[in-house]
Chain A
Amino acid sequence: MDIEHIVLPALVLMTSLGAVVLGTWRLGLAPRRLGGAALRAVETIGLLVAFGVANVALGIAGVLAYRGLTGEFMSFYVLNDAILGLLSLLQALVFQWWRAGRRD
């Protein structure tokens, strides 16, 4: 394997280990709760996918409606934009924090 291929994963691994050390020794976080936090992160990614799919589905319906109502052309490619992914992530994060705060 080319050494360049492992640079990015190695960087992330090292900073993650650093964060675990910092969290445990300096911030007093419990290592046993790390698994739950990771699970929560994976769940957030799942929410991101759900919001992304919902946004694209709504977008497709909107494009079809626009074409049908105005007779003018609008491309489906307007939906193929990374910004929609970032906005879906924002939606997922807000929803997740809203949900997590339910017991505050």
Chain B
Amino acid sequence: MQPGARPARLFVWIGAAALLLLAAGSFTPLPNALNRLMAGRTELSPAEAIVVPGRGGADADEILTNRSLRRTLRAIALYQRNLAPILVFSGDSGEIDARVRLARGLGVPVEHIVAAYGAHTTREESAVLERLLRPRGVRRVLLVADPIDMPRTRALLEGRGFVVLGAPTASSGPGDPESRLHLLREIASELAAWGYYRLRGWL
């Protein structure tokens, strides 16, 4: 094959920037630092409800995804520390059902569990939570979410009048290059969602 056309300068610059980002994302703690930054402050204080937004749902065997499971277990642990009297599970119906079963299996009474069905997006989740929790007089909530999901979810709930205490799941981040790169992609995805919400005037 012949050498062909000369390299296009624009794509060389874009490629170089992408490779630099790839190297920084894989072999430096950059994603971990961003993860911690997005987690915000952890405030494990008494609240009126522990809110657990959806994350990834459940598979066909009704097994929660890793992240959804982490959130659920953390929330149950906080409930068992008596930090709030009710646990609120959001997400798609399969995810909520699996979470409720897990919580009940771990000794949480059914009357202390609220299943927040009917939301597809984070914005819709905040609306459903407001509709369900406002009549119960709930204002102060412990938000259990992944660090990268905290800023948008927190902002939406605060926008609906809740006082939000952050209880992110583990925020130190992964230690191997592939997982760090995956985290960086998740961060990019979440920042895009943040940008979209800002663009639509929802934040």
Contact = CB atoms under 8 A, between A and B. Distances in A.
Interface residues of A, number: 29
B2 A104 contact: yes
Interface string B177-202: 10000000110010001001000000
Nearest to A37: B3
Contacts of A44: 15
B2 A103 contact: yes
A30 B189 CA distance: 42
Nearest to B188: A80
Contacts of B8: 43, 46
Interface string A77-104: 1001010000000000000010111111
Given A46-B13, A49-B14, A76 B193 contact: yes
B4 A99 contact: yes
Nearest to B26: A8
A75 B3 CA distance: 43
A99 B1 CA distance: 11
Contacts of B185: 80, 82
A103 B4 contact: yes
Contacts of B12: 39, 42-43, 46
Interface residues of B, number: 25
B7 A49 contact: no
B5 A102 contact: yes
Given A42-B19, A75-B120, A100 B2 contact: yes
A40 B6 CA distance: 9
B15 A42 contact: yes
A73 to B, nearest CB: 4
Contacts of B16: 42, 45-46
A97 B2 CA distance: 10
Interface centre among B4, B5, B27, B121 (most CB of A within 10 A): B4
Contacts of A100: 1-5
A82 B52 CA distance: 27
B60 interface: no
A101 B4 contact: yes
10 contacts: A42-B16, A43-B7, A45-B19, A46-B13, A46-B14, A47-B11, A50-B14, A77-B189, A80-B189, A101-B4
Interface of B: 1-5, 7-8, 10-16, 18-19, 27, 120-121, 177, 185-186, 189, 193, 196
Interface of A: 5, 8-9, 36, 39-50, 73, 75-77, 80, 82, 97, 99-104
